[in-house]
Amino acid sequence: MAHPKRKHSTSRSRKRRTHQNLTCPLLVKCMQCKKLKPAHMVCPFCGYYRNREIVEIKIKEKKNKKGR
């Protein structure tokens, strides 16, 4: 395996690494429930997309624990 003849400076290494970064996902407000959701996707909270209901969201009911 080849070895470098001289040490790379920190500025040269950092110039090479400038494009190795992470980007956060684009989030927009839902028009119905006003929660943040991914752009161009059906809202996972209310099931609406472009002011139309696409998916019917079922709400889970909480179970009462009376035995304890």
Spatial distance between the Cα atoms of 32 and 55, rounded to a whole number of angstroms: 13
Spatial distance between the Cα atoms of 49 and 55, rounded to a whole number of angstroms: 9
Q: Which residue has the higher pLDDT, 68 or 58?
A: 58
Q: Is the pTM of this model over 0.75?
A: no
pLDDT in tens, 11-28: 999 999 998 889 888 999
> What is the SS3 assignment for 53?
strand
Residue 67's pLDDT is what?
Answer: 63
In the predicted structure, residue 3 carries a pLDDT above the cut 70: yes
* Sole residue written with tokens 């752009």: 39
Distances (CA, A) of 18 to 4, 6, 35, 41, 65: 21, 22, 33, 30, 55
Q: What count of other Cβ atoms lies within 10 Å of the Cβ of residue 46?
A: 18
